[in-house]
A and B are shown apart, each in its own frame.
Chain A
Amino acid sequence: MGRRKRAVETAVHGAFLLLGLITVGCVLLITVYLILSGIPAIRQIGLFDFLLGKTWASAAAEPSYGILPFILTSICGTAGAILFGVPVGFLTAVYLAKLAPPKLKIVVEAAVSLLAGIPSVVYGLVGMLVLVPGIRKLFRVPDGASLLASIIVLAIMILPSIIKVSVTALEAVPKEYEDASLALGATPMETYFRVSVPAAKSGIAAAVVLGVGRAIGEAMAVMMVSGNVANMPSLFQSVRFLTTAVTSEMSYSSPGSLQRQALFSIALVLYLFILLINTALNFFLKRDKEG
């Protein structure tokens, strides 16, 4: 009986290990594929010309492949979205986790979940029909499709992940911490911001990472509101992100051409960015825990 039980255990172990390896395998496969298909164009164009070149004209008679505008746009767009999205999301999370009356909390949480479920093309469409003309009229610029429009759309899109993960983290803070703080005479607000939030710090940081990841990887919605011209980033100018640079030309580039290879190189750069962000945040979280 005992032996049989152990055999089942081992089998289940093996099955789970296999399932886990599928995920790891996918990541490895994508990494290897991206590196293999991204390197040739970079070698042909030259790393510095590729990363620091200011003109992208892949279909011109004399093509030039410089992706600096895309890199800077992606950085500015994500930073802008974080700048708008994190304070709103974070404060909403504190309110939901600590202050909101239960009935209101249910309604707001349902709304947030719904926001998370809206497909990005719908964000893009609403942005195109409401936000873009709105920016044009409000700021009296010739056209509203701009970096600002993308930042606003991205900020709204990252709200659900920031709110949900932060709420979970805040609710996991042991009640004793708060009780102790209150018993020592701190006001509820002092308690939430000086005790609960620091205790939930790593969870909230994880929420921000998720937000950054979603913002930098979003393509469809920003494609519809950013204007897609390879300009250097400027708030009211038409811009193109790393993601949209890949998607907008992929269907036209012929297989094996330098253009197609350069698109893979852009994807590789984007991938490295996301790796970098994840590693950096892991590093900070670890340091927090140790210190």
Chain B
Amino acid sequence: MKKILTLTMALLLVIMTMTGCSQKNTGTVSTDGSTSMEKVIGALGEAFEEQTNGVTFTYNPTGSGSGIQAVQEGRCDIGLSSRALKDEEASNGLKATILAYDGIAVIVNLENPVTDLSLETIARIYTGEIANWKDAGGNDAEIVRIGREAGSGTRDGFETITGTADACQYRQELTSTGDVITAVSQNPNAIGYASLASVKDSVRTLSVGGVAPSEDTVKDGSYVIQRPFVLVTKDNAPLSDAAQKFFDFATSPDAAALISAAGAVAAN
């Protein structure tokens, strides 16, 4: 009898603590959209949850298009897009706020004499139209194209900007930025691409059309292999308290360190 009593008491206690938890919850922020923004949004969401202690943050990686659609239909608080809004999307009462820029550096081996390529040449190299470095101003050697695996945000960004989606002739498809950099640093005839923030001295970063990639040139738009990370909100409907808090946090200068740690260039 005593045992049953203790058990009931314990059970009650557990239930009470649980209800206590749910009462502390002050809201949710739901985001939906670009898979490329996963790292940035993941870092921001985690820090935000820690800061607010009790707000639930969700991120649904569906792609830029469906994220924009989701915010339009009110299925999420904030849509995430890794491209600027199209005209018809903007005219539908949506507002785009640039959170960060994603700069993608094109890298070659240190032994490679090439230092500059135009965007068009890069595209022609990756589609296989140019197969030898001598046609791109380098030595007489076969070009070894190194890229990322299908589904990678960096690959998606690179192929979208260079207009080579689904047409790249890769020699190697590696699963991390570090592997791409190592592979390029090991092969004198390799070319690769990697998120600007993670490029190291072991490889040479090419300038594109005469512009070397850096935080400044990415921000002012003169370095072309880059794209914006955009927070999409409704123009007329106000955000919920929690969502507004997240929006302010993400666009504040405090978030800049988190954003650059996640591999992008903060806009603010």
Q: Which A residues have a C-beta under 8 Å from some C-beta of B?
A: 57-61, 128-129, 132-133, 136, 142-145, 223-224, 227-229, 238, 240, 247-249, 251-254
Contact = CB atoms under 8 A, between A and B. Distances in A.
A228 B187 contact: no
Contacts of A136: 187
B175 A142 contact: no
B170 A229 contact: yes
Contacts of A60: 150, 166
Contacts of B149: 228, 248-249, 252
B99 interface: no
Nearest to B153: A252
B190 A252 contact: no
Contact of B172 (A58, A61, A229, A251): A229
Interface in B185-241: 186-187, 189-190
B173 A227 contact: yes
A254 B187 contact: no
B174 interface: yes
B43 interface: no
Contact of B189 (A142, A249, A253): A142
Contacts of B68: none
B173 A229 contact: yes
Contacts of A145: 171-172, 183
Given A57-B166, A61-B165, A142-B142, A248 B187 contact: no
Interface residues of B, number: 26
Contacts of B26: none
B150 A143 contact: no
B200 to A, nearest CB: 15
A229 B172 CA distance: 6
Contact of A248 (B165, B175, B189): B175
B173 A252 contact: no
Contacts of B174: 224, 228
A229 B182 contact: no
A142 B190 CA distance: 9
A227 B171 contact: yes
Interface of B: 35, 61-62, 141-144, 149-152, 165-166, 170-175, 179, 182-183, 186-187, 189-190
> Which of A58, A133, A252 has the most chain B CB atoms inside 10 A of its CB?
A252
B131 to A, nearest CB: 10
A143 B35 contact: no
Nearest to A245: B149
Contacts of B166: 57, 60-61
Contacts of B179: 128, 224
B190 A143 contact: yes
A132 B150 contact: no
A238 B171 contact: yes
Contact of B150 (A59, A144, A227): A59
Contact of B62 (A224, A251, A254): A254
B152 A252 contact: yes
Given A142-B144, A223-B175, A238-B171, A252 B187 contact: no
Nearest to B60: A254
Nearest to B35: A252
A238 B186 CA distance: 16
A103 B173 CA distance: 46
> Which of B62, B173, B179 has the most chain A CB atoms inside 10 A of its CB?
B173
A150 to B, nearest CB: 12
14 contacts: A128-B182, A129-B186, A132-B186, A133-B187, A142-B144, A143-B171, A145-B171, A224-B179, A227-B171, A228-B149, A238-B170, A238-B172, A248-B173, A252-B150
> Which of B141, B165, B183, B189 has the most chain A CB atoms inside 10 A of its CB?
B183
Contacts of A133: 186-187
A240 B152 CA distance: 17
A134 to B, nearest CB: 10
Contacts of A223: 175
Nearest to B63: A254
A143 B144 contact: yes
Contacts of B183: 128, 132, 145
Nearest to B61: A254
Contacts of B182: 128-129
